[in-house]
Amino acid sequence: MYIFRKRNPSYLFVRLNRECHKTCGKGENSVKKKVYSVVFWLVLLGYLAILLNTVFFFRIGSQVRSVNLVPFQSIKSYLFVDNGFGTIRLIDMNIWGNILMFVPLGVYLSTLFPKKAWQKLFGLTVLTSLVIEIIQYFASLGSSDIDDIILNSLGGLIGIGCYHLLNKLTHHEEKTAKWVTIISGVVGIPIILLEILLLIAN
């Protein structure tokens, strides 16, 4: 019976909602719990929408297909670059973008599955990046680059590390999840609104 429940998709859905409700302490009222849950899922879905738009929808029509399987080749080309104003940037935004894009993924995976070993969650971030690069190649949506996987994976690892650091400070998974929701709301909601305004403007 226990094995059946673990494999049942409906059980997984209930479990995810249970983890989401942990964003509020046991002594707080149900209305506050619902607010935390709504904020958590709203920002999470907003992040996923921005991620999909960045790696897929924004690239539709590019009809570009290239592959780089040499590690750190692209990364080297984005170090010490000319910014066009006669000065040198230490690191190009392309590197920061690929890292930062996957930091929330590491945080959210850790929040939803706090009992999972960090190695498994890290493996899932690597797999996610790999799948994205494969789809981009076959759909001709830009360059499929092993360096993107490296940078994305680093971002996911940073996110996992941030979650565990926060968990050590709070000493409680429910409090950690609550702070993840608060920080996600403060940071994520303005970004989501800005992304919506940019889509409307364009």
pLDDT for the residue 3? 43
Would you call 123 helix, strand, or coil by DSSP? helix
- Segment holding 186, helix H or strand E: helix 173-201
> Tokens 């904020």 identify what position?
39
pLDDT for the residue 47 = 96
The reported pTM is 0.82
Question: Could you tell me how many residues make up the chain?
Answer: 202
Shortest CA distance to 52 belongs to which of 164, 179, 195, 188? Answer: 195
Q: What is the per-residue pLDDT for 176?
A: 94
145, 68 Cβ separation under 8 angstroms: yes
Specify the pLDDT at position 133.
95
Rounded Cα gap, residues 150 and 55, in angstroms? 15
Residue 135 CB coordination number (10 Å): 13
Q: Is the dihedral of CA 43, 157, 145, 134 positive or negative?
A: negative
Q: pLDDT tens track of the chain, all 202 residues?
A: 444 444 454 454 455 566 555 555 455 567 888 888 999 999 999 999 999 999 998 888 777 788 999 999 999 888 877 766 666 667 788 899 999 999 999 999 999 999 999 999 999 999 999 999 999 999 988 889 999 999 999 999 999 999 999 999 999 898 999 999 999 999 999 999 998 998 888 7
Which DSSP string do the residues of 124-182 spell out, in sequence order?
HHHHHHHHHHHHHHHTTEEEEEHHHHHHHHHHHHHHHHHHHHHHHHHSSHHHHHHHHHH
Q: Give the pLDDT of residue 20.
A: 56
Q: Which residues pair with 67 in a beta bridge?
A: 144
**Strand (E) or helix (H) holding 48:** helix 30-55
Closest CA to 59 of 130, 136, 116: 136
User: Is-contact 144 66, C-beta < 8 A?
Assistant: yes
The whole-number pLDDT of residue 4 equals 42
For residue 143, the cross-strand partners are 66
Domain ranges of the chain: 39-192
pLDDT for the residue numbered 92: 82
